[in-house]
Amino acid sequence: MRIALLAVALISSLAAVEPAIIPLPKEMKMGEGSFPVVESSGEPRAGIRYDRELEGIANLFAADLKERANGDIKLVKEELRIKLPHEIRLDLDTSLPLKPGGYKLEVKPEGVTVIGKDVAGAWYGTRSILQMLPPKGTEVWATTKGVYLPAISITDEPRFSWRGMHMDVGRHMYPVEDIKKFIDWLAFHKLNTLHWHLTEDQGWRIEIKKYPKLTEVGGFRDSTPPYGNRDSDDGKRYGGFYTQEQIKDLVAYAAARQVTIVPEIDMPGHMAAAIAAYPEFGNSDIPNYAPKVRTRFGVLYDTLAPTEETFKFIDDVLTEVCALFPSTYIHTGGDEAPKDQWEQSPRVKELMKKEGLKDGHDVQSYFVKRVEKILEAKGRKLIGWDEIREGGLSPKATVMSWRGEQGAVDSVKEGHDVVMASTSHLYLDHYQLPKNPELAKGVEYEAWGGFQPIYNVYSYDPVPKALNAEEAKHILGVQGQLWSEYIRSYDKLEYTAFPRIAAVAEIAWSPLEKKNYDDFRSRLDPIMKHYDAAKVRHAVPLAAPKRETKDGGTIQTSLGTFRPLFLWPELAYDGDPETFFWSAAKVKADDYFTLTLRAAVSGKVKVVTGGKIGPFPDHLESGVLEASADGNTWTPVADFKSGTAEGILPAGTTNVRIRVTKAQESWFTLGEIVFEK
C-alpha cells in the first residue's frame, strides 16, 4: 500500500510540471493526477472516440499513437455505444469563442477531451497531446512503467492565420517522401502553410502537360556551383521535376494534416528555365538573345516579355496549376526582375507608349495586374514578393514582404493584406551558428550568408509598430524562408530548418504578451528529443549573448547596429571569439568605436574587422587604432591594414578607440578586441 501511495504521489508531482509545448498555448492550467495512455501493465491502451467529421484526423492520430505505443488503438465513432477503457474524445464545437484553428484540451484521470472550433482545431489539439507524450521509439514506450498524460486544461488559438515555411525546389529538389516528412513536422508545430517555390532560373520543377518542354528542357541544367566555390561549376547535369500525380499526392497528404500547399510560379523574372524551353515568350527582339537554363545563382536578367502570346502561355500554365492546387492563393513571385531586357526591347517600348508606361517599374506593374486578372478569373488570389509594389500595386494583391517592414506598412495602409517574410529575421538559409566553426566542419555546411541565430528569429514580431490595431488585422501571418542554393539535400534542409522552425511556429501562433525566450528555450530541449527520436538532423541552438563586456567596461560608438537586439557593440569585448559587432550603415570619416576599460592595461593589442569575423567580408578599409589614459588625449597605436590593426599600448591605457579615417561604401564587422601582456 505504501509503495502504491508513493507511486500515486510521484505521478501527481510530475503532473504539476507544465509540459513542453511549442508553440506555447494561449492558456494552460495544470490539474491533479494523470491519464494512462498505456497502463503500467502495458495494456489496455487508450482508445479514440470521434465526431464523424473528424474521422480523417482520428485515423491519423490513431496511427501516431500506434506507432509510439507499438499496438492497436481502438477507434469508435461518437454515436456508437462501445465502452473504451481509457477514452480520448475528439469533438467539434463551432460556437467556441475562439479563432479558426482554436481548440480546448482537457486531460483528466478519467479521460481526455479535445474540442476543436473546426477540424483544424481538433487536429492541433492532437498535436499538443503528441508533444506531451514521450518521443516515439524511446525506451519508456517499451517498458512496463506505463505512459501517462498529465492532467491539464488548455484553451488555445493561433495568433495568425498564415503560419508557414517556404521550400525552394528550383535550385535543388527533394524526394516526395522527404517533403512528406517535412509536412509532418509543419503539422507537429501547428504550421499550416507550405509555400512551394517550384520554378527558377536554374530549373522548372512542375509538369505542365500543355508545355512539355518546360520540364524536358527547363527542368535540367548543365552544372551547379559546388559547395565552397560559388563562382565555379561542378560540370554535372542536374535536374528533374514533380509529375502531376506526385503533386496531387503531396497536396492531399498535406491537406489531411491541415497544411495548405501554396505554389509559386515566379514571374516575370527568375524565368530563365522557362524561357530556355520556349524562347518566344522571352524578349526575343533584343540583341544577343540566347536564353538558357542558368547554372549560377543570383539575380539574372532573363524576364518574360509582356506580350499577348506570353499572357496566353501564363494563363495556360496557371490553369493547370490551379487544377493541382486548391489553395486560395497562388504565388506569382515578382521579385528581382531586372528591367534591362525590357529597356532594350522594341516591343516593350511600343507597349509603354501605347499604355502610357513611363519606365520598367510601370511595365512590371502592368505585368502583375494582367496576371492578377488571370487568377481572378479562376477564382484565386495573387500573392507576390514586395517588388510587385513597383509601379503601383494590383488592386487586390497580397504582399509577401521580405525586404524589411516599409513595404508591408505601405501595403497595409493602402488596404492590402500582407504576409511577413523579412530577411532580417526569417531567412533560414542564413547561418544559424557562427560561420567559421560551421565551415570548419566541412564546405557542405556552407550557407547563403547572413547570420540568423534562433534567438533572433524568436525576437521577431510580425506586426510592424507603425500599424495601429485596426491596420494590424491586415497582417495575415508569417513564414520562414528556405532558399536552396546551398541546401543541396534533404538532410541539409533539416539541418538548416531545425530547430529554428520551432521559433517560427511560436511567433506565428502564441500571444505576443506571452513571448519569453528563456521559457521558449527551456521548452525547446524536450521538443528536440522528438527530433532526435525521429533522426532529424538539427543544429544545436546558439546561446543568446548578453549585452555586457567581459570586464564591465563601456562602449561608445557613432556607428549604428545592424540588428540592435543581438549584434551589440559590447560583443566586441565579451570574451567570446565567435560573437561580433556589426555596423548598420556605410562608414563615414571620423566615425568611432571607443572601449573604456575598468582597469588600465598595457602590452599588445589586436583588433580584427571583417574577413573571418561574422558572415560577410566587411572590414574597415581606412582607420587608426588609438589609446588614451584619460579619454581626452589620444595616441596612435596602429593603422588598419587589410582590416586588422595590432600594436603596443602605452602603459596606463584605459581607453581604446577605433577611428575611421576615410569613408567607405561597405559596413564592417568587429570581432573580439584582444589584449596581451
- Mean pLDDT, residues 619-631: 95
Please report the beta strands in 329-412, taking only residues with DSSP state E, as ranges in sequence order: 329-331, 381-385, 398-401
pLDDT at position 2: 34
pLDDT at position 613: 60
Higher pLDDT, 354 or 585: 354
What is the per-residue DSSP string for 297-335?
Answer: -S-----B--SHHHHHHHHHHHHHHHHH---SEEE----
- Quick check: helix, strand or coil at residue 400? strand
Q: Decide if 227 contacts 299 (C-beta within 8 A).
A: no
Q: Decide if 429 contacts 412 (C-beta within 8 A).
A: no
* Residues contacting residue 469 through CB under 8 Å, at least 6 positions apart: none
Q: pLDDT, tens digit, for every residue of 13-32?
A: 444 578 999 999 999 999 99
Q: Is the torsion defined by CA of 438, 439, 441, 444 positive or negative?
A: positive
Judged against a pLDDT cut of 50, whether residue 568 lies above it is answered with yes
Determine which of 58-72, 150-164, 556-570 has the lowest per-residue pLDDT on average.
556-570
pLDDT at position 563: 65
Q: Decide if 268 contacts 304 (C-beta within 8 A).
A: yes
Return d(Cα 560, Cα 562) in angstroms, integer: 7
Return d(Cα 379, Cα 321) in angstroms, integer: 13
Determine which of 129-133, 334-338, 489-493 has the lowest per-residue pLDDT on average.
334-338
CA angle 479, 484, 485 (to 5 degrees): 135
Judged against a pLDDT cut of 80, whether residue 413 lies above it is answered with yes
Task: Give the neighbor-by-neighbor strand order of the sheet with 147-156.
Answer: 27-38, 147-156, 103-108, 111-116, 87-92, 47-50, 75-77
* Residues contacting residue 519 through CB under 8 Å, at least 6 positions apart: 24
Q: pLDDT, tens digit, for every residue of 337-380?
A: 999 999 999 999 999 999 999 999 999 999 999 999 999 999 99
Beta bridge partners of 648: 604
Q: pLDDT, tens digit, for every residue of 165-189?
A: 999 999 999 999 999 999 999 999 9
- Mean pLDDT, residues 542-546: 89
Domains, the chain, ordered by start: 2-156 (3.30.379.10), 163-533 (3.20.20.80), 554-676 (2.60.120.260)
Q: Decide if 345 contacts 283 (C-beta within 8 A).
A: yes
- Grid cell listed for 130: 503528441
pLDDT at position 221: 98
pLDDT at position 14: 44
pLDDT at position 616: 61
Nearest to 355, CA basis, from 343, 367, 338, 344: 367
Residue with cell 508606361: 357
Return d(Cα 224, Cα 172) in angstroms, integer: 10
End-to-end CA distance of the chain: 69
Judged against a pLDDT cut of 80, whether residue 414 lies above it is answered with yes
Q: Decide if 371 contacts 380 (C-beta within 8 A).
A: no
Q: pLDDT, tens digit, for every residue of 316-347?
A: 999 999 999 999 999 999 999 999 999 999 99
Q: Is the torsion defined by CA of 482, 488, 491, 495 positive or negative?
A: negative
Confidence tier at 667 by pLDDT (50, 70, 90): confident
Q: pLDDT, tens digit, for every residue of 450-474?
A: 889 999 999 999 999 999 999 999 9
